[in-house]
Structure formats: C-alpha cells, structure tokens
Structure 1
Amino acid sequence: MPSNQERVYLSVGSNIHPRVQNIQRALRLLRAVAAITVVATSHWYETEPWGNRDQANFYNVSVALTTTLTPDELLAELHVIEQALHRRRLIHWGPRTIDLDIIFWGARQIHTPLLTVPHAQAAHRNFVLLPTQEIAADDPLVGPQVDRLVAKNQDQSWIKKVRNVSELDD
C-alpha cells in the first residue's frame, strides 16, 4: 500500500433520533467525497453512552477509508458532514445526531491544535476499539495497534453487535 494510501479509521455514532438514518446518511455523504474511498465498514453496534451516561444509547460503526486529503482537509470534510446532519456541540460527551472522529491514520502520530491521532480517548472506549478491530485485522499498520489497545482496555461499558441493521429500532 503506498504511503499516500494508508488506511484511515473513523468512528461514527449517533444517539439522537433517527439514529439509523443519521449514520446511513453520514456514510452516504462520506462516500460522495471524491477524494475518499471507503474500503470497509464494521458491523453496527449498540453501545451505552461513554462519559455522560444520562442519555440515550448510541449506534456506532467504524469505517476504514483511503484518501488523498491531508488530515486537516479530512477533518474539515467530516465537520461539513456533521453540520449537514445538524450536529450541535452543546454538552461535552452529550447527545449528538452524528459524531465522526478520526481514530487512526496508518502509523501516523498527529498532534495539532485541532486533531490528535491516534484519537486521544480511543484506548479507553469499547465502542471505538471493538468495531475498529473488526475491520483492521488485515492492516499491518493499524491492526497491531488496535490489538494492543484492546488487550489493555479497562472500559467496562457494554457493547452489543447488531446482526441486522434493518431490524433496528430508532
């Protein structure tokens, strides 16, 4: 895989009605960006909220992609998608129509005022690690990182794999 084609992993989640449609729409908008190729999507997972637990459960999915965008350009595209889905940042770790986070970018370490990769909290979140582990197993740059983090993870929150997205209640 050429260095400009390292896989980037996103965590996508929603806990505001209609959760399923919010995620499906975010995935469509992501696939519509010419500079992005979605290579894999994990199963969907229902998860309890992390941090602020007094809110509805989330649906979460991980996405692997390649892109010709820079990290800042990709982050800007993700913010455009969040805005299109009416994401509002009112409460830290609060309810959201959609949340798109860059979790891993190959073996890169990125530390800018707007972006930290690997994601600063990924190592402590089942809803990020387990779906990402599912789609990163064959990635020699990210798979081992995720496996190490899963082995050390202390997150006790529950996570349930969804077998059939079309049967999800919203």
Structure 2
Amino acid sequence: MKHNVFLSLGSNVGDREEYLKMAVKEISSLENVELHKISDIYETEPWGYSKQQDFLNMAVSIYTKLDAEVLLKELQNIEKFLNRKSTIKWGPRTIDIDILLFDFLKLNLEHLKIPHPLMFERAFVLVPLKEIYEGDEIFGVNIDEMINKYREKQGVRHYKEFEFLP
C-alpha cells in the first residue's frame, strides 16, 4: 500500500539551498519512495532560538510503501549524512526533515508524533505545505487561517522556485 506523506525541510547552515537540494535528492533515491510534489523555497526568520541565520524552508510530498517509523529512520539517516548536528533545541542545522502528515494517520509515540505537533503554529511550515497540499483543511484546521495568524509575525518570505534535477 502506498502512503501519501508530506515532509517539511529546513536549512540555515552553510549553503542552505544546496542542503535542501541534496536532501530532496536523497529522499527521492530512497527505496520504496516516489517524489510527488515540491514547493517553492521560503526564507524565514529563526523560530525558537533567534541568534542564528535565517532558514530556507520548503515542503515535499512523497508516496511510500514504508511505514512511518521506518521512514523516520531513513530521514534521520539523510540528516546524519548531510552533517546535521543537534546542539541547541531549534538551533542551527544543515538540514531538518520533519514528517508533517502520513495519510490521515494520528500517531503519538515518544519519538514520532503525526501530525507534527507544532505545524499549525509555524507559518514557515504551512506556507510551503499549502502550495502542494490539495485541500483547505487538515484535521479540521483551516490552513489559510493559521497562515494569516502567523505569517507576518514569523517573517516568511518567498525566496525562489525550487529547481530539481534528479
């Protein structure tokens, strides 16, 4: 069975755009994963820990036969491969890949929560997600209302169209 999954990607260390491109390439090369849609890239002021460079953020949707926990492990391996270091909560990172949605699954494990528990408070997640998500609501939450509530305050700006060559 193929699952429809939405991911959020972010980078604010080094060549941010290149890290996003490398992450998308690595995700698309995973076995049992098919890249479906890719959003544009957005630049965003840091969230949580403000003494760091602005982030580039985007969203991708994939189809996969992997279950949520196996996919999480694969995405964490990609983060490690791309030199992600977790030193400060919400701090600088070469790449951050979060599972936002996995079909209409609700999961509340210690190491994995779906839908992502903070996504409705993060315009930098919702703006690119809205580009590739077909629908106005997620689990009864209106996407546009949440974007309007947080976008200006969080400084989400269109950066550029994402160019991907597999």
- Give TM-score scaled by structure 1 length: 0.87
1:123–1:150 contact (8 Å) kept in structure 2: no
| Number of the residue aligned with 2:138 | 145
Does 2:120 match 1:123?
Answer: yes
State how 1:53-68 maps to structure 2 within 5 Å. Answer: 53-68=50-65
Instruction: Give the secondary structure class of the aligned counterpart of 1:73.
Output: helix
Deviations 1:90-148 (Å, cap 9, x if unpaired)?
0000000000000111211011121000101101000101100110025xxxx521861
Structure ranking higher in strand proportion: 2
Tell me: CA distance 1:106–1:164, structure 2 relative to 1, closer, same or farther (3 Å): closer
Amino acid at match of 1:39: H
Deviations 1:58-81 (Å, cap 9, x if unpaired)?
001100011000100000000000
Q: Which residues of structure 2 form unaligned runs of 5+?
A: none
Q: Is the deviation greater in 84-93 or in 144-153? A: 144-153
2:9–2:58 contact (8 Å) kept in structure 1: yes
1:21 corresponds, among 13, 18, 31, to 18
- Give TM-score scaled by structure 2 length: 0.89
Instruction: Give the secondary structure class of the aligned counterpart of 2:154.
Output: coil
1:9–1:64 contact (8 Å) kept in structure 2: yes
2:38–2:162 contact (8 Å) kept in structure 1: no
| Number of the residue aligned with 1:44 | 41
Q: Which residues of structure 1 form unaligned runs of 5+?
A: none
Task: Give the alignment's Cα RMSD to 1 decimal.
Answer: 1.7
